[in-house]
Structure 1
Amino acid sequence: MTEHENPRRHVCGYRDRYADLPVAEFTGEGDPGKLPEAGSVAWRLSAEPYDAAEGAFAALFARFLEQVDTSAVRAIVVGGWENPYEVGSEVAIGPLVDNAGRFPGLRALFVAALQSEECEISWIQQSDVTPLLKAFPRLERLEVRGGTELEFTAVRHDALRILRFESGGLPADVVRAVGQCDLPALEELDLWLGVENYGGNTAVADLDAIMSGERFPALRHLGVQDSEIQDEIAAAVASAPVVARLETLSLSMGTLTDLGAEALLSGQPLTHLRELDLHHHFLTDPMIKRIQDALPGVQVDLSEQEDEEDEWRYVAVDE
């Protein structure tokens, strides 16, 4: 996989590109004079997740403040911090929030861009990420990986265009809080709900405010994915007011069966969509053909067909 592919399909490490910028790994070593221009790259800040000593990320961040013109930084990718499978992300979020005034140009931020060999997605210990939106009122893109101990409270944010939670188990409290946010500029929202085994306890009713779309007037992409209740979600989407103004919709990565697809096709028209992403599904061949025939002008991703007769139906990303 290259990171030029659609990141909605993968757990990307963002070591090559992020937010349309090349990624530069900051180590704090070597000649500071040879660092790229601060605004020309997305800066990756990451302590070794297994061997780093306590305070390693804070020390790395302090060197970053010393060596880089942070007033010009546009994007940051936070990789690991010391022991992310035991220590919460507050050790990385805290320094960013405390020094927010030194990053007036920051527009994109990814927290915990870790891949499975570094830390499994459901082992990542998160924390309250709400302070990032409060500290950076001009942030346009916030993405967070991992749902364990994740907290989020409803906020108003006038600049945010992209909000993304990647998780093997997203807490219902987080989902409800997202729906209660006032995000007038939000264009893209992705939620990987995951499974109950890893804390994914979201019910369809928890999505009601999101499905109404009232607080997201600019929304053009919605992803409610990676769920073991994907059929129920599809049924809710079939009558959700927000769908009428979407350009792209993703119900991928979950346990979607013919039951959910039937509800989707029987609901409101989807012919206005540019893309419908259903990849990783448990649909039968006849249902696949029905979807293709019903949406001839829509780019429909029906790849990764799993065995519909398999009694153990699984999501694409859980542990």
Structure 2
Amino acid sequence: MTINEHLTEFAGKPVANFRHEHDGESSDDHYGSGSSDVPPSAGDVAWRLGTWFDGPDFGDVFRKFLEEVETAEVTHLIIGYWGASYDKGSVPDPVELLVGAANRLPVLRAVFLGDIVMEEAEISWIEQSDVTRLFDAYPGLEHLEVRGGQGLVLRPLRSHTLRTLRLESGGLPAAVVRAVGDSDLPALEHLDLWLGTGNYGGDATTADLAGILGGERLPALRHLGLEDAEIEDEVASAVAGAPIVARLTSLSLAMGTLTDRGAESLISGQPLTHLARLDLHHHFLTDPTMDRVRSALPGVEVNLDERESSDSDWLYVAVSE
């Protein structure tokens, strides 16, 4: 699986690309310098800001956005490609820019950090930083999605407003996984972690998932995704006895290296028939085990698409590099 399309919708709002004077693109969903079209209200769309290789400095693009858009109304913001240190040596830190602009974005509620496709940078190349700072600057943040694990830092935090947290990575650091479990997030309803592989920094073990699977700090969680993991069988075994599962309506162990061993752990563990959905797509199950999973979960929407060869000795996650 490759990520080759930018977002067209984010957290319930259509995406509008902010166009600056260096952007030659012309599209109905582009607004800003050189455009005669403006959205009815700056708060009606999810604004996407970005540059490209050899394009204008992202810091300049961000400043133009603050100057030209009624940012006091902006609720949803997507940060696209901002450059890379391996190309330019030094690039702006989008988190730092967002923190510095907090007084200009008083109603910001949803942020996607890293809407970057394969043609711009592989997911393992995306250089992140300490995203915990966003919660200090925007205490009303409800929705955060981050793509890329290189340099990603998350410290234990407390938020009474965060409802959705998604961390997409070809390799998620164990410290980040532990920080999620050590955070007090009483309003969090949706959590997705792409754990990835050790080759790209994904060094989390099931022990690092203990805080999440225990669920004490996640009383409102209804969807849990522990995905894209090279240790998916071990994750499945841990989930099979995890206290948090009883309160979920949706569970995803998709995109990883799930085999018959992990599936057997799932269906022989605690009941899962209360789930509305179980997503296992991209897996390495045999036909008999797929049949067993379906028959064990009548009434549950089970996604067993994208079956990979169970005869292969090479097990691979859907997204790594």
Deviations 1:74-128 (A, max 9, x none): 1011001122656688621111101112112111100011111110000111111
Corresponding residue of 1:52: 55
The residue that corresponds to 2:194 in the other structure is 192
Matches within 5 A, 1:143-292: 143-292=145-294
Q: 2:304 is matched with which residue? A: 302
The alpha-carbon distance between structure 1 residues 84 and 47, as it changes in their structure 2 partners (threshold 3 A), is farther
Give TM-score scaled by structure 2 length: 0.92
Output the CA distance in 1 between the equivalents of 2:92 and 2:5: 20
- CA, structure 1 residues 15+261, in 2 after alignment: closer, same or farther (shift >3 Å)? closer
3-state SS, counterpart of residue 39 of structure 1: helix
Name the stretch that deviates more: 24-33 or 117-126.
Answer: 24-33
Q: Which residue of 1 aligns with 2:38?
A: 35
TM-fit CA distance, 1:296: 1.1
CA separation of 1:161 and 1:71: change in aligned 2, threshold 3 A: same
1:129 counterpart residue number: 131
| CA RMSD, 1 decimal | 1.7
Q: Which residue of 1 aligns with 2:12?
A: 20
Change (3 A) 1:110 1:33: same
SS across alignment from 2:123: coil
Q: How many pairs are equivalent?
A: 308
Separation in 2, partners of 1:109, 1:288: 37
Q: Which residue of 2 aligns with 1:62?
A: 63
Question: C-alpha offsets along residues 234-288 of structure 1, whole Å, 9 cap, x if unaligned?
Answer: 0000000000000000000000000000111110000000000000000000000
Shift in Å at residue 52 of structure 1? 2.8
Structure 2 distance, partners of 1:85, 1:252, is 32
- Going from structure 1 to structure 2, the CA distance change for 1:224 and 1:124 (only over 3 Å counts) comes to same
The Cα shift of 1:216 comes to: 0.7
In structure 2, what residue type is equivalent to 1:65?
Answer: L
Distance in structure 1 (CA, Å) of the matches to 2:12 and 2:153: 28
> What TM-score results when the alignment is normalised by the length of structure 1?
0.93
Q: Tell me the alpha carbon deviations over residues 13-32 of structure 1, each in whole angstroms, 9 at most, x when there is no partner.
A: 44421111111110233346
Unaligned runs of 5+ in 1: 1-8
- Give me the whole-angstrom Cα distance separating, in 2, the residues matched to 1:70 and 1:19: 18
